[in-house]
Amino acid sequence: MVLDKNLIIILIDGGRVDRAMRSPIFTNLQSKSVFFPQTITYAPYTNAAMHALFSGCYGNRNGTYSYWHTYRFKKNKFKTITEYLKDRGYFTCGDGHTKLIVPKHGFDEFHIHDENKDDLSKRHSNLIDLVKTKNDQGSRFFLYLTYSNIHTGIKDEVLKIYNNFSEEYFQNKTINEKRYDRFFSKAENYLEIILKKIQDLGLYKNSIILIISDHGISVGEKFGERAYGSFCYDYTIKTFAYLISNDLTPREISSQVRHIDFMPTILDLMEIKLDASYESLDGESLIPLINGSKFEENIAYSETGNPWYGKAPPKAPNTKSVRTSKWKLIFNEYDNTKELYDLENDPDENNNLINSGLKIEEFLWNELTEIQGIK
Ligand SMILES: [Zn+2]
């Protein structure tokens, strides 16, 4: 029975799962968390990924399915985790580098930081002090924090310098890796400070903490995508999540899970019932999986708008994928081509097995068609 715990969500924007898995700070977390190394995002860019995470629903249903659709979120049909907690009397507070990244409904306070200037460790430590004060005054809290500086570094040193077809970028993978690692190590420092703050204030015992990435970032794996948001390959759609609560036994979950599953999981942990006056969720609680009872892996759906030669991403998704732990089918709507990958034997997705007579192709295509039909 876990009633009325605080909730802290920390987004490491653009955090790659391979880097997390070799980081001492992140791997240390595994001893106290349920670790999901195969967490699939709905969209490999921030706003649609986070709207899906907050609502437990894919963007093709909740309305936020492109960079341009933050304000198209169907707030009367989809209730966010923030709103659930607000209804329960929580103090709800968020911080991000733009107001566009998460649905704002239900937040008492949403702060915007200057990603180029602000010291996020200090700023977020202060916010943790603030919510602790609310706790001491008898109110539970939900705190959402964005660590935006990986994104900031990539914006300044990759997005502004190269385009998706700059030969120089794709020919210098080692430089790209080192650049990314430099940004990631700052994220590690940040996380270390924030987790110590949570520890020092004694918040582990009465909080559920989710540390998550919205999408990975390319280091030059596939020509045509210098950062993220163009394709649906695993180096961007496969991310990490660490769920911490003292009623969960730390373990690693090898199955694929989806961003949309975390909202229902947190509600389940808090024993909060879904509000029947809203639409049903795409996500499912992961508690049965965490507890080791039988759990059938769900298909993960992702989509994005490949800008190709254009400067801005298109207004509707044109690249879509369905994925299991073992297989992925990609549908490139813009040129009507498909790709099929055996993720177990070809994790870098280099060997396209489409039209090679594999039964899984039809199965995944049907799944994709079905999810599209919901729109
Ligand atoms: Zn992001």
Span 231-245, pLDDT tens digits: 999 999 999 999 999
**Mean of pLDDT over the chain:** 95
* CA of residue 119 to ligand 1 center, whole Å: 19
> What per-residue confidence (pLDDT) applies to 309?
72
* Over residues 34-58, mean pLDDT: 97
Residue 69's pLDDT band (cuts 50, 70, 90) = confident
> What per-residue confidence (pLDDT) applies to 294?
67
CA separation for the pair 256, 267 (Å, rounded) = 20
| pLDDT over 70 at 375, yes or no | no
CA separation for the pair 6, 89 (Å, rounded) = 11
* CA of residue 310 to ligand 1 center, whole Å: 20
* CA of residue 5 to ligand 1 center, whole Å: 27
CA separation for the pair 58, 297 (Å, rounded) = 17
* Over residues 326-339, mean pLDDT: 95
For residue 7, the cross-strand partners are: 142, 208
Q: Which residues of 47-82 are buried (b: 16+ CB within 10 A; e: fewer)?
A: bbbbbbbbbbbbbbbbbbbbbbbbeebebeebbbbb
* CA of residue 44 to ligand 1 center, whole Å: 8
| pLDDT over 90 at 154, yes or no | yes
CB distance 56 to 283 below 8 Å? yes
> What per-residue confidence (pLDDT) applies to 293?
86
CA separation for the pair 361, 350 (Å, rounded) = 17
* CA of residue 45 to ligand 1 center, whole Å: 5
Does residue 3 or residue 159 have the better pLDDT? Answer: 159
| pLDDT over 90 at 332, yes or no | yes
| pLDDT over 90 at 210, yes or no | yes
Residue 363's pLDDT band (cuts 50, 70, 90) = very high
| pLDDT over 70 at 286, yes or no | yes
* Over residues 345-367, mean pLDDT: 97
* CA of residue 3 to ligand 1 center, whole Å: 31
* CA of residue 263 to ligand 1 center, whole Å: 18
> What per-residue confidence (pLDDT) applies to 354?
97
| pLDDT over 90 at 264, yes or no | yes
* Over residues 64-75, mean pLDDT: 89
Q: Name the residues around ion ligand 1, CB cutoff 5 A.
A: 13, 46, 214
* Over residues 215-242, mean pLDDT: 96
* CA of residue 52 to ligand 1 center, whole Å: 13
* CA of residue 294 to ligand 1 center, whole Å: 33
> What per-residue confidence (pLDDT) applies to 71?
85
* CA of residue 258 to ligand 1 center, whole Å: 16
Distance of CA 357 to the CA centre of its chain: 33
| pLDDT over 70 at 1, yes or no | no
* CA of residue 296 to ligand 1 center, whole Å: 29
* CA of residue 213 to ligand 1 center, whole Å: 8
Taking the model in full, what pTM does it have? Answer: 0.96
* CA of residue 360 to ligand 1 center, whole Å: 31
| pLDDT over 60 at 374, yes or no | no
> What per-residue confidence (pLDDT) applies to 315?
85
For 299-309, how does the pLDDT look when each residue is reduced to its tens digit (9 = 90+)? 999 999 987 77
For 91-142, how does the pLDDT look when each residue is reduced to its tens digit (9 = 90+)? 999 999 998 999 999 999 999 999 999 999 999 999 999 999 999 999 999 9
H helix or E strand, kind and range, residue 319: strand 319-323
